[in-house]
A = this chain, B = another copy of it.
Amino acid sequence: MESTTSTLLEQGITPSDLLKHWQGHRGLTRRVIEAFPEEAFFNYSIGGMRPFAEMVMELLGIAGPGIKEIATGKIQELIEQVDHGNKKVKILELWDEATNEINTYWEQIKPEQFQQNIKIFGQYEGTVWSSIFYFIDNEIHHRGQGYVYLRALGIEPPYFYER
């Protein structure tokens, strides 16, 4: 058996598997954003929760900057607001920029970093992999809430299993 790191990592979940997994989720979240009527995206809510646009801004604040911090070691500020002018197209543009930013910085993360400790955004302690899992899980969590908003608006959301 070869014993290089990459060969053995390939028996489990490789960093590139995880990136592909996340970008698959992010593609689905993008289609959920697209499914919202513009007005509802920025204003509709249930039970005093945030409109979906607010949740998406949180996701945008986490994803690109989070991976940049992991790759570069430079603490990033968690910014959950952007100047969107109530335009979905602006949010989608930022979403696509984040997609590229994630891909770019992901390549700079070394396999041995995944188990290292990090205080992401200078605040949240965990390992690199647990931080990335948090980013993904948090996106799935809020997107699931977006599905309820869409259903309550009478709109069929995209299939969960299509990535």
Contact = CB atoms under 8 A, between A and B. Distances in A.
A11 B112 contact: yes
Nearest to A137: B140
A152 B148 CA distance: 11
A11 B138 CA distance: 24
Contact of A144 (B12, B46, B144): B144
Nearest to A15: B12
A27 B37 CA distance: 35
A154 B47 contact: yes
Contacts of A47: 148, 150-154
A56 to B, nearest CB: 14
Interface residues of A, number: 45
A150 to B, nearest CB: 8
A133 B31 CA distance: 21
Nearest to A3: B3
A48 B147 CA distance: 12
Interface of A: 3-5, 8-15, 17-18, 21, 25, 46-49, 111-112, 114-115, 129-130, 133-134, 137-138, 140-145, 147-154, 160-161
Q: Which 9 A-B residue pairs are closest in the complex by CB-CB distance?
A: A144-B144, A47-B151, A3-B3, A47-B152, A148-B148, A141-B144, A8-B8, A140-B140, A12-B114
